[in-house]
């Protein structure tokens, strides 16, 4: 009696694990597409040789994919007359970039193993390779995601935190994704690379007091005060080394040289100050925690098994 009912329990558990908890794993393509890594890496090399900033753009793309219904390539789907994707959502429009690079990577990967590697996995590998190419840490990317057949502009509008967010809002936006306060602070360290548009930081440099005066003046010179003018002028998120994945973002925050309101919220007399201080002094700790958090973010609600599909063209559902 006892043994047969425990057998049933074991079988039921095994079935549940097999069907609904398929796990991502770094060796997912070791049989089906061992060439995927070199194909992605060489395209990243080509793209970053043209423009270093592209590395930052691809890291951000991964974030914007994962925060909207999980890491499922939904951010890549183009709008059509009958389909509204995420590209024109507030946080993405005129902002998320690198779609042509993903197309080039997908084409290179299709050449070595057609129909095998998902677009969602390509974004994950591209983000890792970009960090490495810009001098940051390396890690094994977990794989086996499949591509969504839908997207959500509404969720993209609400799930991706705005640069006007306060610390409470930043923490809660990450918490709903299953990410901790520490994950939020360390993932924000991605702002050690890349650029932001004037419209995203204008209010911070003109109207807020928790900013270094000299730094504010420097930024004002390229971001005129009136709304509408120069909205798309760019400034580096890390004034020191915007093309190098180091810990200087955290040093900027301590010097009150955070570019976005949301950046400076991480070091503004609140509960996350100590973590910012630690990373500013210990880049090994920043790297180790960043890697762990990128893996965790990459685990948000993946489609696996027979869910979703492997798109042929990352911009359209098959
Ligand atoms: C904590 C909440 C976050 C907020 C409020 C935020 C906000 C922003 C904003 C407003 C920009 C500039 C966009 C533009 O002007 O077009 C930006 C850029 C960027 N973000 Fe974030 N972000 C956050 C977290 C993250 C995370 C978690 C990552 C990745 C792990 C990330 C990676 C980047 C990168 C690399 C850029 C530069 C992109 C480029 O140069 O193309 N951000 N972010
Ligand atoms: C999302 O935001 C954009 C830009 O602010 C807006 O045009 C669009 O209507 C919003 N979409 C939804 C579904 O809320
Ligand atoms: C933080 O922002 C939210 C809105 O996003 C607001 O409701 C809340 O009162 C703010 N908290 C603080 C401490 O300012
Ligand atoms: C820009 O417009 C916003 C909202 O319309 C306003 O809150 C802000 O103060 C304006 N900024 C400047 C510098 O005029």
Q: What is the CATH number of the domain that holds 30?
A: 1.10.520.10
How far is 126 from 130, CA to CA, in rounded Å?
Answer: 6
Cα 114 from Cα 166, distance rounded (Å) = 45
Residues framing ligand 3 (Cβ under 6 A): 166, 168-169
The pLDDT score that the predictor gives to residue 6 is 52
Residue 105 belongs to some domain of the structure: yes
Q: Domain check: are 198 and 118 in the same one?
A: no
Among the bound ligands, name the one nearest to the CA of residue 223.
4
pLDDT of residue 228: 83
Residue 143 φ/ψ, nearest 5 degrees:
-135, 170
In this structure, is residue 311 part of a structural domain?
no
* Nearest atom (ligand 1) to Cα of 55: 35
**191 CA distance to ligand 1 middle (Å):** 6
- Residues 65, 146: one domain? yes
Interatomic CA distance for residues 300 and 283, integer angstroms: 26
CA of 157 to the centre of ligand 2 (A): 6
Indicate whether 59 belongs to any domain: yes
pTM of the model: 0.93
Q: Is 64 a catalytic residue?
A: yes
CA of 138 relative to ligand 2 center, distance in Å = 36
Residue 272 lies in a domain: yes
* Shared domain check, 291 and 197: yes
CB 235 within 8 A of CB 259: yes
Q: Which ligand is nearest to the CA of 160?
A: 1
pLDDT of residue 22: 77
Say if residue 95 is in the same domain as residue 200.
no
Please give the structure tokens belonging to residue 248.
Answer: 């200087």
pLDDT attached to residue 250 = 98
Residue 193 domain boundaries? 167-296
CB 204 within 8 A of CB 211: yes
What separation in Å is there between the alpha carbon of 100 and the centre of ligand 1? 19
Ligand 1 atom, smallest distance to 54 CA: 41
Residue ending a domain, among 107, 126, 160, is 160
Closest atom of ligand 3 to 166 CA is 1
Which residues touch 179 (CB under 8 Å, ≥6 apart)? 187, 293, 296, 297
Asked if 251 and 261 touch (Cβ cutoff 8 Å), the reply is no
Is there a domain that residue 306 lies in? Answer: no
> Rounded to an integer, what distance in angstroms lies between the CA atom of residue 181 and that of residue 170?
9
> Residue 55 contacts by C-beta under 8 Å, 6 or more apart in sequence?
44, 47, 48, 130, 131, 133, 134, 193, 243
Task: State the alpha helices, DSSP H only, in the chain.
Answer: 2-20, 36-50, 53-66, 99-112, 119-133, 153-159, 167-175, 181-187, 198-207, 213-220, 248-254, 261-265, 273-281, 283-298
Ligand of minimum distance to the alpha carbon of 169: 3
DSSP string across 210-223: SS-HHHHHHHHTTS
CATH of the domain at 277: 1.10.420.10
Cβ-defined contacts of 175-184 (< 8 Å, 24+): 177/66, 177/67, 177/297, 177/300, 178/296, 178/300, 179/293, 179/296, 179/297, 181/271, 181/272, 182/275, 182/289, 182/293, 183/293, 183/296, 183/297, 184/272
**Distance in angstroms (rounded) separating the CA atoms of residues 203 and 208:** 7
For residue 199, give the nearest of 99, 98, 90, 68 by alpha carbon.
90
Query: What are the pocket residues of ligand 1 if the criterion is a CB atom closer than 6 Å to any ligand atom?
Result: 53, 56-57, 59-60, 63, 95, 97, 161-163, 165, 170, 184, 187-188, 190-191, 193-197, 200, 237, 260, 262
Domain count, the chain: 2
- pLDDT tens for the chain, 318 residues long, are 344 455 444 444 444 444 445 799 999 999 999 999 999 999 999 999 999 999 999 999 999 999 999 999 999 999 999 999 999 999 999 999 999 999 999 999 999 999 999 999 999 999 999 999 999 999 999 999 999 999 999 999 999 999 999 999 999 999 999 999 999 999 999 999 999 999 999 999 999 999 999 999 999 999 999 888 899 999 999 999 999 999 999 999 999 999 999 999 999 999 999 999 999 999 999 999 999 999 999 999 999 999 999 999 999 999
For the chain, the farthest-separated pair of C-alpha atoms sits apart, in whole angstroms, at 79
106 shares a domain with 73: yes
C-alpha to C-alpha distances, 144 to 48, 119, 129, 269, nearest whole angstrom: 26, 11, 17, 41
Structure tokens at 280: 């500013």
Pocket of ligand 4 (CB under 6 A): 202-203, 206, 225-227
234 SS3 class: strand
Residue 292's CB: how many other CB atoms inside 10 A? 14
In angstroms, the CA 205 to CA 212 distance is: 9
Separation of 220 CA from ligand 4 center, angstroms?
Answer: 14
Among 140, 160, 180, residue at a domain's last position: 160
- The residue whose C-alpha atom lies closest to atom 5 belonging to ligand 4 is 227
Residues with CB under 6 A from ligand 2: 89-90, 153-154, 157
Predicted confidence at residue 12, as pLDDT, reads 46
């Amino acid at each position: 009696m006892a043994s047969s009912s425990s057998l049933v329990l074991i079988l039921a558990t095994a079935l549940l694990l097999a069907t609904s908890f398929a796990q991502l794993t770094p060796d997912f393509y070791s049989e089906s597409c061992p060439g995927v890594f070199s194909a992605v890496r060489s395209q990243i090399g080509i793209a970053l040789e043209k423009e270093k900033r592209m590395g930052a753009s691809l890291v951000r793309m991964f974030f914007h994919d994962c925060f909207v219904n999980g890491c499922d390539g939904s951010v890549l789907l183009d709008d059509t007359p009958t389909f509204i994707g995420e590209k024109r959502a507030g946080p993405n429009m005129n902002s998320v970039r690198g779609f042509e690079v993903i197309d080039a990577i997908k084409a290179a990967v299709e050449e070595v193993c057609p129909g095998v590697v998902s677009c969602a996995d390509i974004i994950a590998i591209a983000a890792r390779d970009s960090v490495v190419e810009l001098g940051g840490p390396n890690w094994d990317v977990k794989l086996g995601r499949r591509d969504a057949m839908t997207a959500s502009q509404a969720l993209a509008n609400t799930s991706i935190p705005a640069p006007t967010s306060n610390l409470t809002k930043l923490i809660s936006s990450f918490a709903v994704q299953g990410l901790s306060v520490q994950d939020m602070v360390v993932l924000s360290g991605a702002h050690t690379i890349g650029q932001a548009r004037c419209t995203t930081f204008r209010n911070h440099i003109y109207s807020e007091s928790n900013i270094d005066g000299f730094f504010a003046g420097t930024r004002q010179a390229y971001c005129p005060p009136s709304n509408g003018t120069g909205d798309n002028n760019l400034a580096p998120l890390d004034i020191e080394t915007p093309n190098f994945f180091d810990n200087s973002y955290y040093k900027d925050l301590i010097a009150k040289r955070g570019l976005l309101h949301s950046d400076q919220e991480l070091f503004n007399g609140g509960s996350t100050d100590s973590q910012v201080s630690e990373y500013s002094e210990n880049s090994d700790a920043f790297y180790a925690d960043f890697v762990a958090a990128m893996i965790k973010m990459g685990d948000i609600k993946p489609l696996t098994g027979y869910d979703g599909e492997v798109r042929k063209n990352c911009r359209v559902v098959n």
